[in-house]
Amino acid sequence: MDPSAIIFQLILGIASAMLYWIVSSGLTFTFGVTRVLNFAHGAFYMLGAYFTLTIFELTQNYIFSLFFGATLVALIGAACERGLISRIYGLPVPFQLTLTFGLVLVFDDLVRIFWGSVPKMMPPQFVGSINVLGRALPIFSVYLIIAGIAIALIMYFLLSKTDWGMEIRAITVDPETAVCSGLNPTFLYATAFMFGSFFAGLGGGLYVPISSAAPGMGEHVIIYAFIVTVIGGLGSIKGAFISALIIGIIESLGALFVPWMTIALPYIALAAVLILRPEGIFGEK
Amino acid sequence: MAEVSRREFLKYIAALGVGLAIGGGIGYSARKPEVKIVKKGAEEVGGKIKEKIKIGHIAIFSGPFSTYGELQKRGSLLAVEEINKAGGIMGSKVEIIYRDSAAKPAEAVKQVRSLVESEGCDFIIGIDSSGVVLAVAEVMPEVNKLLFVTHAATHRLTEELVYKKGIKQVFRIAVPVYQDGIMAAFIASKLPAKRWGCVHPDYEYGYASWELFKKTLAKLRPDVEFVGEAWAKIGTTDFTPLISSIMEKKPDGIHTVEWGFDLFTFVRQAKQTGLFDAVKYDGGYAWINPMGYSIDAMEALKSEYPEGCWVSGRYIWMYPDTPLNKKFVKAHLDRWGHFPAYSGETSYTAVYMIKKLIEMTKTLDIDTHIKTLEDSTVYSPAGVRFIRKKDHQAVYSVPYGQIKHDPSYPIPVLTNLQSVPAEDYYRHPPFKEMPPFRELYKKVLPKA
């Protein structure tokens, strides 16, 4: 096979990987801090898509719609954390799953009531393609790669260079000592949840102009986000980035070489990691 | 199959099959526009039979495919409202109860039991998804109620469970994957494309459609090649790696049974990656998307779906041009503000078939119902359906057409409608051979 075909396929795989990364970044971050497995993360992603679409219809400004939409999702996330999720901290996992899955159903139905059950589309924002290796690379693949890397850099900066990031890391590593040293856990948990929801909303908003918005759209991506976070190590942001890349690339190369088993590859990777390193690539034992 | 009824059926189908605008009318359009079952020796009789006739409708009402439940509900609820407004079924009111299958076989089976045992439903209709219908059909003999399948398309339902295993309680109103695979191949055989590739959802429906497509097209056009396959998981967020892997194989024709949310993503991304350009020919695109004329796809994609692509459905609202179909489309538009989806038509027809069945037999006895339905002819918005005795499949033909953006309609319409008599593209019991069964298709289907 022409080696340029493989390189091109690799680039597309990285672009797909960035979508997985953007969605799982918030999920793994929220889990790292609050120890809550948030099933509703996919619902926040869906809300991000719908908010972006509707705000775009009103303003015709995509970048503004994207950030304003994600901010609204972050506020909803904070409200959910304060009103509901904060009440189950420390309770067994089934409580978390039941509550956050309940939220998924509620948000799905709310979306159906406000936007209807037929999927909605907004005008595509990144039209056209550039010539790479004699093939058409869609502009939106380029934009996904840029957005994914930008989000990784922003996360890195916020968590390692700001006071808030340091406090978040402190409460993640050792909650008791952190609280004894005067950190405010209520504030930190709420802002962490808000931060995670913001990235879920951003993921939905970034995705909607290359696809569409539909009730329940988050249910597909949440499964992948879980695979990514488990492979990377629950709570590890670096792990999520690397494992998203792994999944995106094996799927993409799989489509070229073994199309009949593409669907199985992420699960094979997941099984391999669970057998060889159950805590995930960057997870803690 | 009784020879008489087959001939009678062929008489209608032959007229309907091609150029329906001209042929379909005669004899058919003269009738009163209402859904009707015709069966020799059976007559409608009067008198109340039960206080309330209860129908359970199971479809997907939650999750990413909930649109499909909604589209079905529009059809069945419209029928129930019309029937009740006109006095019910022999004076009995009709009640319809909706239940969510959540696209899960076990959940749907639970709902069937609950509808029959707790709610006292007399009939079950609905069911989306191949996996779900195979599970549900298995319990129908046990609950012993009739199931009218209005959406799920796997041919294994009628070929294996009804025909081979003898589950008589199941009837399918909608055309199965014969439309997606076999009829699609008839269209493909008339296009210049010689190198076919596919992008399909990675489950039963995708595999069945592609198998039937390849087998039929290889018979019709020995000169074509099948160059590549891409299998997409349900909920694929990025189709570009799949598209590019297929484009490496240089196809000049694409067969895709993607549907719903995934179809929107796929069409959008195929446009950007140049897949449509790769399959362009003088008269349009060698792009065959069997369920592409689904109402949700048309309402969402609108003009983004390129003109000239070949699409179809299990019913399309502009065909056939009969008073009954026009009446149905108008009623649906008035009631819901949307054109009817294919599953809306099948659900509407299922409810009316129940009405006619009770009126004809004056009983709720299931064996009588089965005998009445077998080898009967149903006049419905989608045209004349012949209910085949051996596999309980409603045999009727649905055309393919090319997408056209007409500013006088809110959604794209279809032009250049192409159709083959249903008898020629449906597989026949005992399901050993693949169509075409005769050379007729060469005459009836002009060069597309």
Residue A79, chain B, CB below 8 Å: the answer is: no
Beta strands in B312-382 (DSSP E): 377-380
What domain range includes position A182? 15-217
- Mean pLDDT confidence for B400-410: 96
Can you give the pLDDT at residue B204? 87
* pLDDT of A224 strictly over 70: yes
pLDDT, average across residues A79-96: 90
Q: Is residue A1 a part of any domain in this protein?
A: no
Q: Is the model's pLDDT at B15 over the cut of 80?
A: no
Torsion of CA B233, B211, B129, B251, to 10 degrees: 40
Confidence of residue B28 (pLDDT cuts 50, 70, 90): very low
**For residue A219, which residues of chain B lie inside 8 Å, CB to CB?**
63-64, 235
pLDDT at residue B437 greater than cutoff 70: yes
CA distance B124 to B109: 11
For residue A222, is it within any domain? Answer: no
Residues of chain A positioned with their CB less than 8 A from the CB of B339:
none
- Contacts with B, A 43-62, CB within 8 Å: none
Closest-CA distance of chain B to residue A188, Å: 32
The mean pLDDT of A211-239, rounded to a whole number, is: 91
- Would A122 be classed as within a structural domain? yes
What is this structure's pTM? 0.89
**Domains along the sequence of chain B with CATH:** 3-175+318-395 (3.40.50.2300), 178-316+399-444 (3.40.50.2300)
Interface test with B, best of A212, A247, A252 (most B CBs within 10 A): A212
pLDDT digits (tens, 9 = 90+) for B47-68: 677 889 999 999 998 877 888 9
Distance CA B48, CA A23 (A): 59
Element (H, E) at B59: strand B52-59
DSSP string spanning B64-114? TTTHHHHHHHHHHHHHHHHHHHTTTBTTBEEEEEEEE-TT-HHHHHHHHHI
What is the per-residue pLDDT for B24?
A: 35
ipTM: 0.89
Confidence label for B260 from pLDDT (cuts 50, 70 and 90): confident
| Bond from prior residue into B320 cis (ω within 30 degrees of 0) | yes
| Residue of chain B whose alpha carbon sits nearest to that of A257 | B245
Interface of A with B in 123-162 (CB under 8 A): 124, 127-129, 135-136, 138-141, 144
Would you say residue A231 lies in a domain?
no
Q: Is the pLDDT of residue B321 over 80?
A: yes
Chain A residue with CA closest to B271: the answer is: A128
Q: Which of A12, A119, A255 sits opposite B296 (nearest CB)?
A: A119
Q: Crossing angle of helices A163-173/A3-34, nearest 10°? A: 70
The DSSP 8-state label assigned to residue B393 in this structure reads B
- C-alpha torsion B129→B135→B136→B138, nearest 10: 140
Q: Which residues of A touch B242 (CB under 8 A)?
A: 255, 259, 262
Residue A244 included in any domain: no
Sequence-distant (≥ 6) Cβ neighbours of residue B322 within 8 angstroms = B24, B25, B28, B29, B33, B381, B383
Assess contact for B212 and B177: CB atoms under 8 A.
Answer: yes
Q: pLDDT tens-digit profile of B30-41?
A: 467 888 888 766
B234 touches chain A (CB under 8 A): yes
Residues of B in contact with A252 (CB under 8 A): 241, 245
Q: Which residue has the tokens 């995708």?
A: B206
Higher per-residue pLDDT: B108 or B47: B108
* Domain membership flag for residue A168: yes
Asked if residue A113 is part of any domain, the answer here is yes
Q: What percent of chain B has pLDDT over 70?
A: 89
pLDDT, average across residues B103-111: 95
Contacts of A211 in chain B (CB under 8 A): 237, 261, 264-265, 268-269
Average pLDDT over residues B74-87: 97
Specify the range with the lowest mean pLDDT, choosing from A69-73, B269-273, B320-324.
B269-273
d(CA B4, CA B25): 22
Q: What is the pLDDT of residue B3?
A: 39
Contacts with B, A 162-201, CB within 8 Å = none
Q: Inspect the interface and report whether the beta carbons of B235 and A108 lie closer than 8 Å.
A: no
pLDDT class of B14 with cuts at 50, 70, 90: very low
Asked whether residue A240 is domain-assigned, the answer is no
Query: What's the pLDDT band for B46 if we cut at 50, 70, 90?
Result: low
- The amino acid that residue B81 corresponds to is E
Contact by Cβ (8 Å): B155, B427:
yes
How many domains are there within chain A? 1
Q: B43 pLDDT exceeds 70? A: no
Q: Are the beta carbons of B264 and A262 separated by less than 8 Å?
A: no
Residue B217, C-beta contacts closer than 8 angstroms, at least 6 positions apart: B185, B188, B189, B196, B224
